[in-house]
A and B are shown apart, each in its own frame.
Chain A
């Protein structure tokens, strides 16, 4: 009698237990999905719907002073393929009348067509495809332009589904070698040389990323775009360089460099009142579009900044300014100048060409570029005092530009000079400077004794428009205005009465210049050889100095005197005066006695 209710209770209990167990399973599963695996599952589902894409922050431009692009970023495309899916395909070709025909294409035919479009090599592509037939990725051609990209894209859309594309940011230098020595270039591992490298913090852009969700047909769902990281384009670096003057200057030194068989040449044009570099030319120079064409690694940068050389007689202008400033000499200080001079320690110096003993003033010594003469007057100033002046002229430190590869060591301390070196430094031997340093000396003389740091960069304009100008700099007074102005007047005698007067004179303008034919020390340290650095440094117009031009040729083979540099100096200075519309001089140069 009791069995029936008991079994009923049992059944009920069992059913309840099963229900509870089921509910428990569900709860556990729910907790597992909703809590434990939630993040992973969410990510999986996101991945199915969500597309992540890179937004590009392109590298900024380097521009000339007028905004002309010297280095710019362009978009290029890499064509890639999935070797695993590379198979013969049927493509739909549309002819001119809109007729569609289906054509079978083998893999080779596809590659041949891609090669024709892009100018790549079909063999290389085939090799890339067959290297790992199971791979999902292989580069076919890198860096094709937009026209080729569109043509290949049409090919893909017509049925070659295993072709893919990648966007790539590439660097282009529309003006080729014009200022290529300054801009430097960017390699696959980033900026390699020049301003591209030193100003990378201004130029570099940052790629961003964004995600969006897409529907089954690939169309972006409205409102689903989430920017995960903002792309920041690089800033624009504006230089002080004038593109046309730079070209003209490079052309001028290249012509003359070839004509006299020089190894290399540099030219610098600097504005006196600001210290801005309007042109810094090197020959030979790199074409940053194709760096491989430059065989000599030394030609990749700017030798005007990086190459140290003993400047020679252009230094006498500075020595004269020191003497005037320290009161040790006046423009008419007299010296009896023989052809050569021997010293108690066994050293001997002599002038460039033989001459009978002459009675010259300091002005005459500069005019004739007499080594003996400058040593006779210069010895009144101690080595330490001359060294201190050189430091004030900025010769023992890199230029304010901070160009890549500038020599860090300038003029050696006076305490390390031996007696002969002390004499030699008066006429620019035994000390090494760069062309920029020589330009800086003449800028100081032209700017009434105040040296301004050389400036190559006008400023950096960030993508958001904020301009970071080059830091404001204060000038350094090196010599007194009288000393500087008088030195400029003395240097006019070089142009009006010196050996190179025909080549140096610019009709209508008063030009102050100093030639230099410096001996080059042999590489093995055994004294001076027959190699020369010929140069001319000068200022115009002399009555109100506006522009400095320094031209130098290293190791000329056919003409080893400054006569080789003078015509090029003249050509560049004429161009500068014409370009910046400097009015011709109205007053004659002051007549300073050159002999006594």
Chain B
């Protein structure tokens, strides 16, 4: 039967025989099984491409990461340098010499006459006297070359602040009717509603808040 099925040469049939349906060549199951399937090829090729593309993507991502790492490392280096620079400055500024120089510059004097109060008995040991700075008025004698060129705190701005702060606040209050700036105008206009009216004074540490 299988022979007949695959026989390529049609057998001559007697003409008197009734016409039969044309013979079809049917592939056997084995043949069907043996035939290569396009789907497999497609899957294989596609996955190969997917693999290659993935590899490419990973490689791109990796080298991209290398640049990111490189950038971040450079940034970290710079920030570390900043940190070192500032902590170095801080160490120098917090040296006793700098504190002593600044304290002196600001008009402070050393007290060479310590007096002790004993809280249990209330006894005062020693002779309380104001430090006048004349008895012990020598400058800092302990050199520190790192402080060369480090500016000292100056008295002037501080004095100016304390001197002008009070008048500024009062003049602000007085000038509420005719304030010089726009923000102050709104402040004055809404003064009744509780908006701080002296917010325009930057030196005012504790701006009044009525809320």
Interface residues of A (CB under 8 A from B): 68-69, 72, 74-75, 145-147, 172-178, 215, 219-222, 243-244, 247-248, 250-251, 254-255, 258, 283, 285, 287, 289-290, 293, 507-509, 571, 574-575, 578, 583-584, 586
Contact = CB atoms under 8 A, between A and B. Distances in A.
Given A258-B138, A289-B145, A507-B127, 5 more contacts: A69-B91, A176-B95, A176-B145, A574-B114, A586-B121
Given A222-B62, A244-B96, A507-B116, A174 B91 contact: yes
29 contacts: A72-B88, A146-B81, A172-B88, A172-B146, A174-B88, A175-B91, A175-B96, A176-B142, A176-B143, A176-B145, A178-B95, A178-B142, A219-B67, A220-B66, A222-B65, A222-B66, A247-B97, A247-B100, A251-B100, A251-B142, A254-B142, A255-B138, A255-B141, A287-B145, A289-B146, A507-B125, A508-B125, A584-B123, A584-B125
B182 interface: no
B118 interface: yes
A186 B138 CA distance: 31
Given A146-B85, A508-B126, A219 B66 contact: yes
Contacts of A247: 96-97, 100, 142
A509 B125 CA distance: 8
B52 interface: no
A219 B63 CA distance: 9
B97 A178 contact: yes
Interface string B39-72: 0000000000000000000000011011101100
B110 to A, nearest CB: 9
Contacts of A215: 63
Nearest to B88: A74
Given A243-B96, A578-B114, A250 B70 contact: no
Residue with the highest number of chain B CB atoms closer than 10 Å, among A68, A174, A222, A290:
A174
B115 interface: yes
Nearest to B114: A574
A254 B97 CA distance: 14
A220 B116 contact: no
Given A254-B142, A507-B125, A174 B118 contact: no
B141 A258 contact: yes
Given A222-B62, A508-B118, A251 B95 contact: no
Interface string B140-183: 11111111000000000000000000000000000000000000
Contacts of A571: 112
Contacts of B85: 145-147
A131 to B, nearest CB: 30
Contacts of B146: 172-174, 176, 289
Contacts of B66: 219-222
Interface residues of B, number: 39
A68 B144 CA distance: 16
A56 to B, nearest CB: 12
Nearest to A218: B70
A283 B100 CA distance: 18
A254 B91 CA distance: 24
Contacts of A178: 95-97, 142, 144
Contacts of A174: 88, 91-92, 94-95, 146
Contacts of B67: 219
A220 B125 CA distance: 71
B96 to A, nearest CB: 4
B84 interface: yes
Interface in B77-112: 81-82, 84-85, 88, 91-92, 94-97, 100, 112
A222 B146 CA distance: 42
A293 B143 contact: yes
B118 A175 contact: no
A575 B94 CA distance: 20
Contacts of A574: 114
Contact of A289 (B112, B123, B144): B144
B141 to A, nearest CB: 4
A262 to B, nearest CB: 13
A59 to B, nearest CB: 14
A175 B144 contact: yes
A-B pairs with lowest CB-CB distance, top 8: A176-B144, A508-B125, A174-B91, A507-B126, A247-B96, A254-B141, A507-B125, A175-B95
A68 B87 CA distance: 12
A248 B112 CA distance: 12
A248 B141 CA distance: 10
Nearest to B112: A571
A177 B144 contact: yes
A147 B142 CA distance: 28
Q: Which of B84, B95, B138 has the most CB of A within 10 A?
A: B95
B170 to A, nearest CB: 42
Contacts of B115: 507
A332 B70 CA distance: 82
A401 B51 CA distance: 70
Contacts of B142: 176-178, 247, 250-251, 254, 285
Contacts of B92: 174
A66 B96 CA distance: 14
Contacts of B100: 247, 251
A222 B84 CA distance: 28
Given A178-B97, A222-B69, A578-B114, A251 B88 contact: no
Most buried by A among B96, B121, B136: B96
A508 B143 contact: no
B35 to A, nearest CB: 45
Nearest to B64: A222
B45 to A, nearest CB: 30
Interface string B188-209: 0000000000000000000000
A57 to B, nearest CB: 15
Contacts of A508: 116, 118, 123, 125-126
B143 A74 contact: no
Contacts of B84: 74-75, 146
Nearest to B118: A584
A287 B81 contact: no
Nearest to B126: A507
Contacts of A74: 84, 88
Nearest to B116: A508
Contacts of B63: 215, 219, 222
A289 B62 CA distance: 47
B155 to A, nearest CB: 23
Q: Which of A215, A250, A584 has the most CB of B within 10 A?
A: A584
Contacts of B136: 255
Contacts of A222: 62-63, 65-66, 69
A173 B91 CA distance: 9
A574 B81 CA distance: 43
B33 to A, nearest CB: 47
A578 B117 CA distance: 11
Contacts of A146: 81-82, 84-85
A132 to B, nearest CB: 32
Nearest to A75: B84
B178 to A, nearest CB: 40
A289 B67 CA distance: 41
